[in-house]
Structure 1
Amino acid sequence: MSSAALTFAPDRALPNVAYRDPSFFEAEKGGIWHGDWVFVTTEDHVGAEGDQLPVIIGNQPVLLWRNQQGELAAMSNLCAHRGTQLVDRPSNAKRIQCPYHAWTYNDDGRLLSVPFAPNDAIDKAAHCLPKYRVESWHGLVFVSLNPDVEPLTERFAAIEPHVVAHGIDQMVHRSDQQDTQEWGCNWKLAIVNAMESYHLFQVHPKTLEPFTPTRDAYYITGSARATATGGKAENQDDYLLISLPPNFVGVFNSGGFYWQTAHPIGAERCTIRTGGAAASSPGGRTNDRFRRWTSRLASTAAAYSLPDFLPEDKAICERGQRGAIGDFEPGRLVPIERVVADFGHYLNWRINGIEPPAVHAEEIR
């Protein structure tokens, strides 16, 4: 596939080839998964000194580690000796010892010892674990394999005031109540579906539409870097939906924050992880359904249960993937889908190097 074939019009739907072609998927790895910020977890998942969390970003095994100084670090999760995976499950330790030949590293990735090797046989400084960029934004942790990526404060500057106004810093994240599923669709189908409210009346006529009507959704501000949209909700304050490309979408309602993230497995499969946070004392008015969701997030006694609209999203995204075997002339997006156009600009920016438009804002109704 030529670079020209990867370029598409952001004011139209993505072509089906973007959901099935392995060469498109390979282009995404370089420009997006190996070249940009990727959401990996919430800070509470690695909250204590020594906490370790193995993750995969693109094709790269990465270890997220809270060091003994309380700082987050991200480094290669492959031994510098023969490439064995070092940590394969969440754990807590001050050091890592490779399970193959016991090469040992400290929490800064420095090689400390090599069994049965003369002191001068291995240059320890040349065998440290490569380190990657890691930053936290309001309790959300992002990692980038690209050392030159812009800081998150710049990336999300346009939506920052709206997130703060919705009380994210007063909310408690709950990594122990997250859920992961595998969906039979391209990751872009899942994340675009999560960010737009146009489908609510058709896909969620009983679960979401009665409480967050499609007709009352609106655009606030955004660009290829991040977008904030909102909408009116029955018997509560307006909700705020944030889209953080490539793989994070979150929605704030009174007293709660529910999020969804997507990670590709291949061109036609992805993992979907959901989670959330809740204020210790939710304020404002809320209907019973939203109260039940946020109470599940806040409860330490009950296991987290997914909202009942997620199976409907899974079904429509997998139906979209089944349709991706054919080709069609991508249709023009309607105004309520402006967030999808922002995502199209993001893809052109990260894959084709096309500088995206400046931040756009609309008057809130």
Structure 2
Amino acid sequence: MSLAQPVSELLEAVNRPLEDAHAMPPAVYTSPDFLACELESIFSREWICVGRSSGLPNVGDYLTYDLAGQPIVVLRGKDGQIRAFSNVCLHRMSTLVDGCGNKRLLVCPYHAWTYDLDGKLRGAPFMTRTTGFCKEDYALPQIRCEEWLGWIYITLDKDRPSLAPALAPLEELIAHYGVENYVECFRETHVWDTNWKVLAENFMESYHLPVCHAATVGGHSKLEEMECPPGLEAFNYHWITKEASLPMGNAHPDNTRLEGRWRKTTALITLYPSHLITLTPGYFWYLSLHPKGAGQVAIVFGGGLAPEFMADPRAEEYVATLKGLLDEVNAEDRGCTEKVFRGLSANAARPGHLSYLERPIYDFMHYIAERTAGFDRSAALAAE
């Protein structure tokens, strides 16, 4: 399948008005050519979330991430700053570190070339007879890295505008939660057998909660009270009132920031392209997605507690309860989203109408069309 078919079908879909909106066409999810376009026009250029700064509390703490085929290491330096570097040795080009952990130095596992936490080459065994070699000429290429409300983002685009201005409207919307003070208590990586956009869309709508999550959180979500405002340029969001299925789903008694209905209101946020956040008065959790092929998605999954719950004597119990519930929720979502991708691959697959509860998917579709198919989103954004 060439790129022309999914692009043509996507442009037809985004030109429908909201009241007659359809889901994106199957080829947008299943075409390898469309995925290659996404890697070039989205993941090689956008800001991508890799975790929380509170998850790297100590000097030498690091995590690794593969962004559009580029291995990257993110670490906290001796000066306390978080930076990102190419995770590729400058000798014979082995990757340096895997997973996450703590290192005093970055030591290549192939020939033990050793780098300081600022990326500078510190040592290279048996190089004294190489007359052209000068240790000071070697330093790991730095990757752009920024923090926003406690999250860490990286981009391969040296000219990409800074993240904060585009997210200023969102920062204002959620300021009363104080999410910058929430503490990450767990971070994991997973791979599911579905397209990254299927999982993104699943996260950004609550229409599926009563069915897909009937055994967990579905019965606690009031869809009739859900608000789906129009999305903005860099994100979409919706609000939902929940009768908390967890003690920390509502605001802690010591929380004086939130009043009235905000003490039990949850924000569900999609920061384009692939950072997905559930923010409640007492806890948060998030996914950051990256395609591993049309039919697989690499997932960073993390979460934690608001400061009042972290200060509570029962904090460890709350973390364990939260993690247990979210593992069940993820298992339910995995089943649903993998079924969707199998369905998308069928010859009989056809996109149907969207519910008004799926408004964020309509906005996400416009973002994807802008980045991959040259769609002009400005008129739609201006009209809202």
Please indicate the TM-score interval, normalised by the length of the shorter structure.
0.7 to 0.9
C-alpha displacement of 1:360: 7.3
Contact 1:62 1:74 in 2 (8 A): yes
Pairs within 5 Å for 1:314-329: 314-327=334-347, 328-329=349-350
* SS of equivalent to 1:227: strand
Report the AA paired with residue 212 of structure 2.
V
The match for 1:161 is: 172
Determine whether 1:254 maps to 2:264.
Answer: no
Q: State the 1:204 CA deviation.
A: 2.5
8 Å contact 1:50–1:94 — kept in the other structure? yes
The within-5 A match list for 1:317-356 is 317-327=337-347, 328-356=349-377
Q: Secondary structure at the match of 1:271?
A: strand
Aligned AA for 1:238?
Answer: T
Q: Greater CA deviation, 240-249 or 327-336? A: 327-336
% same residue: 30
Which one has the bigger strand percentage?
1
d(CA) in 1 for partners of 2:230, 2:172: 11
Alignment of 1:174-213 (within 5 A): 174=185, 177-213=186-222
Cα deviation for residue 215 of structure 1 reads 2.3
The aligned residue for residue 39 of structure 1 is 49
The one-letter amino acid paired with 2:295 is E
Deviation at 1:203, TM superposition (A): 2.2
Q: Give a deviation string over 1:188-220, Cα, whole Å, max 9, x none.
A: 111110111122233233433321122221123
1-side partners of 2:99 and 2:300: how far apart? 17
Change in CA separation of 1:269 and 1:48 when aligned onto 2, cut-off 3 Å: same
* 1:86-105 equivalences in 2 (<5 Å): 86-105=96-115
Quote how far apart the aligned CAs of 1:41 are: 1.1
Q: Which moved more, 1:135-144 or 1:255-264?
A: 255-264
Shift in Å at residue 230 of structure 1? 0.3
Deviates more, 1:68-77 or 1:28-37: 28-37
CA distance in 2: counterparts of 1:127 and 1:205, whole angstroms: 56
Deviates more, 1:316-325 or 1:9-18: 9-18
AA aligned to 1:184 is D
Q: What SS does structure 2 have at the residue aligned with 1:239? A: strand
Distance of 2:63 and 2:188 partners within structure 1? 16
Distance in 2 between residues matched to 1:298 and 1:152, nearest whole Å: 32
Report the counterpart of residue 27 of structure 1 in structure 2: 37
Name structure 1 gaps, 5 residues minimum.
284-293
Which whole-Å CA distance do the structure 1 matches of 2:376 and 2:135 have between them? 42
Distance 1:214 1:228 in 2: 15
Instruction: Indicate how the Cα distance of structure 1 residues 182 and 223 shifts in structure 2: closer, same or farther if over 3 A, else same.
Output: same
Verify: 1:233 aligned to 2:249, yes or no. no
Matched-pair contact (CA < 8 Å) for 1:277–1:298: no
Q: Per-residue deviation at 1:143?
A: 0.9
Q: Does 1:304 align with 2:323?
A: yes
Work out whether residues 216 and 325 of structure 2, in 8 Å CA contact, stay in contact via their aligned partners in 1: no
CA contact (8 A) 2:112 2:125 kept: yes
Q: Which amino acid aligns with 1:333?
A: L
Report the Cα distance in structure 1 between the residues aligned to 2:122 and 2:308, rounded to whole angstroms. Answer: 47
1:69-148 matches, within 5 Å, as: 69-117=79-127, 118=129, 120-122=131-133, 124=135, 127-148=138-159
Q: Which residue of 2 aligns with 1:214?
A: 223
Unaligned runs of 5+ in 2: 15-20, 245-249, 251-263
- Asked if the contact 1:159–1:222 (Cα under 8 Å) also holds between the matched residues in 2, the reply is no
Q: 1:92 to 1:232 in 2, by over 3 A?
A: closer
TM-align CA RMSD: 2.8
Aligned residues: 350
Q: Report the Cα distance in structure 1 between the residues aligned to 2:165 and 2:28, rounded to whole angstroms.
A: 28
Deviates more, 1:254-263 or 1:318-327: 254-263
Range 253-262 or range 132-141, more displaced: 253-262
Contact preservation (8 Å) 1:280, 1:298:
no
- Confirm or deny: 8 A CA contact 2:23 2:352 kept in the other structure: yes
Q: Secondary structure of the equivalent of 1:159?
A: helix
C-alpha separation in 2, matches of 1:17 and 1:312 = 25
Deviation for aligned residue 1:119:
6.4
1:277 to 276, 295, 304: 304
Q: Please give the TM-score of this superposition, normalised by the length of structure 2.
A: 0.82
Q: 2 CA distance for matches of 1:184 and 1:142?
A: 25
Instruction: State whether residues 205 and 360 of structure 2, in contact with CA within 8 Å, keep that contact through their aligned partners in structure 1.
Output: yes
Which has more helix, going by share of residues?
Answer: 2
Shift of 1:297: 7.8
How far residue 29 of structure 1 moved from its aligned partner, in angstroms, is 1.3
